Amino acid sequence: MITTGNKSNIPPKRKNVESSPFLNKVKNISWKISRFILLFGMSYVIVYPLLYMVFRSFCSIDDIYDVTVKWIPKNFTFENFIRVYKGINYPGVFLNSVLVSFGSSLLLLLPCSFAAYGLSRFKFRGRGIVFAFVLMTIVVPQQFFVLPSFLNFSYFNGFGIVPLINNLASTQIRINLLDSFQVFWVPALFGSGIRSGLYIYIFVQFFKALPKELEEASYVDGCGFTNTFFRIIVPSAIPVIVTVFLFSLVWHWNDYQLSSVLMPENRTISSTVVNLKNILYQSDRTSGIESMIDIGQILLDTQVANIFLVSPMVILYLVAQKFFTESIERTGLVG
Amino acid sequence: MFVVPWLIGFINFFFIPIINSIRFSISKIMIDNGPIYEYLGFTQYKYLFLSDATFFTDMLKTSGGVFLDVLMVIVFSLFFSLILVQKFRGRLLARAMFFLPVIVASGAVIKSIRFDASASGQFELSVLQSILQNANLSNDLVGLIVRTMEQMFQIIWKCGIQILIFMAGLQSIPSTIKEAAYVEGATGWEYFWKITFPMVMPLIQLNIIYTIIDSFTDYTNPIIQRIYALNQQLDYSFSSTIAWSYFSIIFIIAIVLYMILGKLNTRNSN
């Protein structure tokens, strides 16, 4: 042991252990196996409820009470699907959901990317405050503005225009937007859809990373702001645009808090699933045979309705998986 | 100029509703060809904080639950993102799997899924319990293990976004740092604590805040369910009272945590 005091801050060099190739191999393989087991276990936990859902939905009521039936139903049946399909008017609610989610996700893109571009490229007064507002919309939960926006839409003031007309012409015009798609479309058009602050944030992060030279070149060549935006920025931002579109699609599709309050009659699929019992057994309830409904049947119907709700998004996810998982990394959401 | 459309939307669909909901919470609303407000003052708040039977117990219960949740979610997602960033066969499939809960569970389904696919059905916990008890472990310990296993499902299903954020952060660590560390003779363990951990520290902060907000606004939370039920009964004013009190408490917790973590962060980097 020859250690000198003045070198104490230099860490002692570790002796290189000459490990045999065999030992290395064993280490490597055992790590691989344990990693596989870990990941497999986690995947099991994630997939289990989905599989359970699928298998259960094919069961008949007898199978629910049969203890020996764990996975494969004994009496294979499509009855549940047909019953729920009719009961909730699936084509109707499905179409509603598609219109709401696709429509608002498409409308969102322009104002959100616009705002993000402005925030990331131009220095103007109050930029910090505006950005703080954007972050605020991410943090404030939905429950805050469900009710006020209910009132807001049932007496829609059209950005202050309707009361003005009412005052000037002393009329009593009342615009009720409830149960129409405008409830989601109008906010989306002004960049205030569900979680739109997050989309702006994603866009801002992306635009910040984009090199400025391209835009400068286009300014030199005589393009205006809007021209530059549509010709230069939008084409290079396509992966981000797809990501934002997909995310907002999923979140609008799955939203039930806003849609069950704002569209109480003209339901979307997710608010239907939440209020499934009220909708499906409404006719029974009025005739007073509510107690007759089998708990097993309720279970089955819930599973089927869940499949109806989830399957479009899962299929979409499987198709566009790359955009969901990879592009978030590329856009530098974290950076 | 670019921001103007969004700003209009923000004021109209976010700012005004929020101001309105404050107004709701301090007044009584009647609807008769347009809403009419009758000023009540803070009586509803007084009622909620001083004489409401369930608010405080619910609040305490959820806070405790959220605390445990956050701890486990962060550890879990960091652990699995460390595995998932490695290169191995089928990693695309594995990554896709981990993000699946975000697609499925951000909506209404999670409630019923949680009900019928709880861990006790998944893992046959009663068997585990009897095995552990036969192994002469103390009852407390067995209870702890079983409870953790029961929560496994919920924890993993909450991890999607967090894993994604961690993975993005881990991939942004330049590989030259890793090479340098190994040349200097660092083991994997040292590498993790001296390099990976400090570098993902800001992300841990982000994830903690995200998880707190996420689990406080979770559907299964009793207070949220109460707000939702009141909303459906169209009892506007009391539900906004609850919402405001509940979320201001959450905000205070979140902000305090954020500041503490930020302090820790700067101290680490110095």
pLDDT in tens, A311-335: 888 888 888 777 766 655 555 454 4
Residues A203, A117 contacting (CB under 8 angstroms)? yes
CA-based nearest residue in chain B for residue A305: B109
Kindly report, residue by residue over A281-321, the tens digit of the pLDDT.
765 555 555 555 677 777 778 778 888 888 888 888 888 77
More confident residue, A66 or A55: A55
Can you give the pLDDT at residue A140? 74
CB contact under 8 Å between A111 and B6, yes or no, is yes
- What pLDDT, on a 0 to 100 scale, did the predictor assign at position B112? 62
Question: Could you tell me the domains of chain B?
Answer: 1-41 (no CATH), 42-269 (1.10.3720.10)
Rounded to whole angstroms, the Cα distance separating A137 from A189 reads 16
Residue B135 Cα, gap to closest chain A Cα (Å):
24
> Mean per-residue pLDDT for A44-64?
78
Nearest CA in chain B to A34: B83
Closest CA to B155 of A56, A45, A99: A45
What CATH class has A90-274+305-331?
Answer: mainly alpha
**Amino acid identity for residue B189 in this structure:** W
Residue whose pair of structure tokens reads 């809403």 in the numeric block: B35
Which residue of chain B has the CA closest to A172?
B33
pLDDT of residue A68: 67
In the beta sheet, which residues pair with residue B37? Answer: B29
pLDDT per position as a tens digit, A192-232: 777 788 888 888 878 887 788 888 888 888 887 778 888 88
CB contact under 8 A, B2 and A334: no
User: Which of B12, B94, B98 lies closest to A159 in CB terms?
Assistant: B12
Query: Is there a contact between B13 and A152 if contact means CB atoms under 8 Å apart?
Result: yes
Task: Determine the pLDDT at residue A70.
Answer: 66
* Contact status, residue A274 vs residue A138, Cβ threshold 8 Å: no
Q: Tell me if B103 and A317 make a contact (CB, 8 A cut-off).
A: yes
Say whether residue A178 is in contact with chain B using an 8 A CB cutoff.
no
Q: Which of A144, A192, A306 sits opposite B112 (nearest CB)?
A: A306
- Interchain contact A117–B (C-beta under 8 A): yes
Would the CB atoms of B247 and A141 count as touching at under 8 Å? yes
In A21-88, which residue ranges form alpha helices assigned H by DSSP? 21-57, 61-65, 79-87
The first and second tokens of residue A166, run together, are: 């009412």
Chain centroid to CA A180? 21
Angstroms from A295 CA to nearest CA on chain B: 13
Average pLDDT over chain A, rounded to whole? 75
Q: Of the candidates A45, A192, A250, which has its C-beta nearest B14's C-beta?
A: A192
Single-letter amino acid code for the residue at A243? T
Q: What is the pLDDT of residue A1?
A: 41
Distance between CA B21 and CA A249 in Å, rounded?
Answer: 28
Q: Where are the alpha helices (DSSP H) in chain A?
A: 21-57, 61-65, 79-87, 90-121, 127-139, 143-154, 161-169, 182-189, 196-209, 213-220, 225-228, 234-236, 238-254, 257-262, 269-274, 276-280, 282-286, 295-319, 321-331
10-residue block means of pLDDT along chain B (270 residues)? 71 73 70 61 70 77 81 87 81 78 68 56 65 75 74 76 81 81 81 82 82 76 75 71 81 83 71
Closest Cα in chain B to A249: B103
Residue of A13, A112, A310 with shortest CB distance to B109: A310
B21–A35 C-beta distance less than 8 A: no
Using a cut of 0.80, tell me whether the model's pTM lies above it: no
Kindly tell me if the per-residue pLDDT of A31 is higher than 70: yes
CB B194 within 8 A of CB B265: no
Which residues fall within 8 angstroms of residue A108, CB to CB, at 6 or more apart? A188, A191, A193, A196, A199, A244, A245, A248
Q: Which pLDDT belongs to residue B22?
A: 74
Dmax (CA) for chain A in angstroms is: 99
Q: How far, in Å, CA of B82 to CA of A159, rounded?
A: 49
pLDDT at residue A77, rounded to an integer? 77
The C-alpha of B141 sits at a distance from chain A's nearest C-alpha, in angstroms, of: 23
For strands B35-39 and B27-31, give the pairing: antiparallel
Q: Cβ–Cβ of B10/A133 closer than 8 Å?
A: yes
Most confident segment among A60-64, A84-88, B112-116: A84-88
Q: Do B247 and A145 touch (CB under 8 A)?
A: no
How confident is residue A4, by pLDDT bands cut at 50, 70 and 90? very low
What confidence category does residue A131 fall into, taking pLDDT thresholds of 50, 70 and 90? Answer: confident
Residue A116 has pLDDT above 80, yes or no: yes
Average pLDDT over residues A7-19: 51
Contacts of A37 in chain B (CB under 8 A): none
Average pLDDT over residues A114-119: 84
Find the residue in A nearest to B173 (Cα): A335
In whole angstroms, how large is the CA radius of gyration of chain B? 23
Q: Which of B10, B103, B228 sits opposite A257 (nearest CB)?
A: B228
CB of A117 within 8 A of CB of B2? yes
Helix runs in chain B, H state only: 4-10, 16-25, 43-46, 55-84, 91-105, 109-116, 119-123, 125-134, 139-158, 160-171, 175-183, 188-191, 197-216, 222-232, 236-269
Interface-testing mutation among A46, A112, A253, with chain B (most B C-beta atoms within 10 A): A46
Domains of chain A by residue range: 90-274+305-331
What is the pLDDT, as a whole number, of residue B119? 46
